[in-house]
Homo-oligomer: A and B are copies of this chain.
């Protein structure tokens, strides 16, 4: 596969992209870096053989993948996987269709419907907009007053999609959730994310602390099925372990960060990605 070209598409470069670049070059791949904030995208065949989409913005990622797909270049992940992972309603749809366990979920597409959704789920609940990373605007609804406050504020955000409420039962997890990273048919590793001080969310961006976790067969199976449900080659899966020991799939990320997992588990994710891409090019 020497002589073949991998394109890494990004908007904000992170350490992960640099590590992937290095691993890809060590395997003899040419690498082309495309910063979509500076470079435009054309529906002409670029001189690349496969594109790895690493944009932080979900929309940038989906749009980049779609342009490449339009001219027959395989994008990892596909635009469809990015979109169905990146929108929490679409994710739950795919998880449910695949028979995967999730927290109880109701959807309100406007204020009145959202109030009924909350009534159905009961208090406490979690209210999420369909789109958003790092737990942004994910609100814990402990009482009616908080819910009113959230409804009013969401109404003022000009983006239509922010007026949509995904309401889920609040799962009383023991101070942590589980995150796995899946690549193709392999689960690369699992970590616990412990809540940091001062926030109920476990997102590392909110102070959550990553610690290696034992990857048992059930977690492995759920993770693989989840990746297939959204059609992703490379995804991370956020899983709740409930008090009775069962698992619920919470969210999926179609452009996953994996620095925390690398540090906690020692797994060399960039090498795995480079090998996976070589495998895809060989097919």
Contact B109 A89 (CB under 8 A): no
Within the assembled complex, what's the spacing in Å between the Cα atoms of A149 and B143? Answer: 13
- A137-B156, A156-B137, A158-B159 given; A66·B40 CB < 8 A: no
Contact B161 A158 (CB under 8 A): no
Chain B residues with Cβ under 8 A from A80's Cβ?
80
Within the assembled complex, what's the spacing in Å between the Cα atoms of A164 and B62? Answer: 12
In angstroms, how far is the closest chain B Cβ from the Cβ of A117?
4
- A37-B113, A42-B106, A137-B152 given; A157·B158 CB < 8 A: yes
- A64-B109, A113-B40 given; A157·B156 CB < 8 A: yes
Contact A106 B149 (CB under 8 A): no
Within the assembled complex, what's the spacing in Å between the Cα atoms of A63 and B107? Answer: 9
Q: Scoring A residues 90 to 114 as 1 if CB is less than 8 Å from chain B, else 0, what string do you get?
A: 1011111100001001111110111
Contact A36 B66 (CB under 8 A): no
Contact A93 B69 (CB under 8 A): yes
Q: CB within 8 A of A105: which of B43, B107, B130?
A: B43
In angstroms, how far is the closest chain B Cβ from the Cβ of A19?
23
Within the assembled complex, what's the spacing in Å between the Cα atoms of A117 and B69? Answer: 18
A-side interface size class: 35 or more
Chain B residues with Cβ under 8 A from A159's Cβ?
158-161
Within the assembled complex, what's the spacing in Å between the Cα atoms of A41 and B90? Answer: 13
Within the assembled complex, what's the spacing in Å between the Cα atoms of A59 and B137? Answer: 18
Tell me, yes or no, whether A72 is within 8 Å of chain B by CB: yes
User: Which residue in chain B gives the minimum CB-CB distance to A116?
Assistant: B40
Q: CB within 8 A of A92: which of B11, B70, B95, B96?
A: B70
In angstroms, how far is the closest chain B Cβ from the Cβ of A21?
20
Contact B94 A70 (CB under 8 A): yes
Contact A149 B146 (CB under 8 A): yes
Q: Closest 3 A-B residue pairs measured CB to CB?
A: A158-B158, A153-B153, A70-B96
What would 14 A/B residue contacts be, using CB atoms closer than 8 Å? A11-B109, A37-B112, A41-B106, A41-B113, A63-B109, A66-B90, A71-B96, A137-B152, A142-B145, A148-B199, A149-B150, A153-B157, A156-B157, A156-B158
Chain A residues with a Cβ under 8 A of chain B: 11, 36-43, 55, 57, 59-60, 62-64, 66-67, 69-72, 79-80, 83, 89-90, 92-97, 102, 105-110, 112-114, 116-117, 120, 130, 136-137, 139-140, 142, 144-146, 148-150, 152-154, 156-162, 164, 198-200
18 further A-B pairs in the complex, CB-CB below 8 A; given A43-B92, A139-B153, A158-B158: A11-B110, A37-B113, A39-B113, A40-B116, A41-B108, A42-B106, A59-B109, A60-B164, A66-B92, A66-B93, A67-B107, A70-B93, A139-B152, A148-B199, A149-B149, A157-B158, A159-B159, A159-B160
